[in-house]
Chain A
Amino acid sequence: MTERETGYDCEKAGAELDAFVRGELPLEAAGRMQAHLVRCGHCAQVARHEQAFRDRLRRLSAGCCPDHLKAQIVELLETAAGPDAAT
């Protein structure tokens, strides 16, 4: 079916864009969005903008729990669970 037939327009695409960029749209809806983005330069540009922003924010999420803290926590849990606890 065409977008005209389904009534899928920029407004509807805009409402689903965030979920699409996050990969949270169900398969069928994601396919509908992709087809829309191929046809609509404006929405495609907005999608690229939102993706660029999300990529930048994700780069802030670097780093791991320090090894010494992991070891302390494992020890803490073993102590808290008591000597009879299953491991």
Chain B
Amino acid sequence: MSAPPAPARFGDEALPHLDLLYRVALRLTGDPAAAEDLVQDTMLKALRAWGSFRPGSNARAWLVTILRNQFINTWRKRTRRPTAIDLEAIPELGDEDNPDPEGQFFASLVDDEVTRALDALPEEFRDVVLLSDLEGLPYQEVAEALEIPIGTVKSRLFRARRILQGQLRRYAVETGIIRPQEEAQ
């Protein structure tokens, strides 16, 4: 039988993930002071729950789950977020309309615009993009962190990325970063 994790090991497992936890907290709350409080609350909560952590399982995903639950249960009530867009109301742009099929324009977009498009996604879609695309967590860890099946991670990612790409491409055309297909000829 394996021994329960010793209390002293909590710091060894948890502290290396502080940067990631802070970035996720900042993205969720949109406010540095709130993000700091959320990370502190998360670490305290995780320390108290350390006995339920299974040795050898993924501490990073476990901590993100706690942080996200803490945010949903406590912090979301205090912070205001922009209203999420209605995914069904947004037409996806077909490839035939795409004047920049290799996506070179993505590199020219400013952070604010990408962030705005990301924040406008419904939470369940934004969170998979946040963990998977921004933070680089593998599918399995995203599934563990969000407590959803891996197939759901993949399908939400696919849909979210299509919506985001459509939004950003539309913005790039509107602001002249790329020209519409007919003018590009």
Contact = CB atoms under 8 A, between A and B. Distances in A.
Instruction: Report the interface size class on chain A.
Output: 35 or more
A46 B118 CA distance: 21
Nearest to A57: B133
Interface stretch (A3-11, A32-40, A78-86): A78-86
B22 A57 contact: no
A26 interface: no
Contacts of B70: none
Interface of A: 18-19, 22, 24, 45-46, 48-66, 69-70, 72-74, 76-77, 80-81, 85-87
Contacts of A80: 44, 47
A-B CB proximity, top 4 nearest: A52-B103, A65-B22, A49-B103, A56-B106
Interface stretch (B5-13, B58-66, B86-94): B5-13
B134 interface: yes
Interface of B: 6-8, 10-11, 15, 18-19, 21-23, 26, 36, 39-40, 43-44, 47, 101-104, 106-107, 109, 111, 114-115, 118, 129, 132-136, 138-139, 154, 157-158, 161, 164-165
B102 A49 contact: yes
B83 to A, nearest CB: 21
Given A52-B103, A73-B43, A58 B133 contact: yes
Given A18-B154, A73-B18, A77-B47, 16 more contacts: A48-B103, A50-B103, A50-B161, A52-B106, A53-B103, A57-B133, A59-B111, A60-B111, A60-B118, A61-B135, A61-B136, A64-B19, A69-B18, A72-B40, A73-B40, A86-B6
A76 B45 CA distance: 12
A54 B165 CA distance: 10
A52 B138 contact: no
B109 A56 contact: yes
Nearest to B106: A56
A51 B104 CA distance: 10
A52 B107 contact: yes
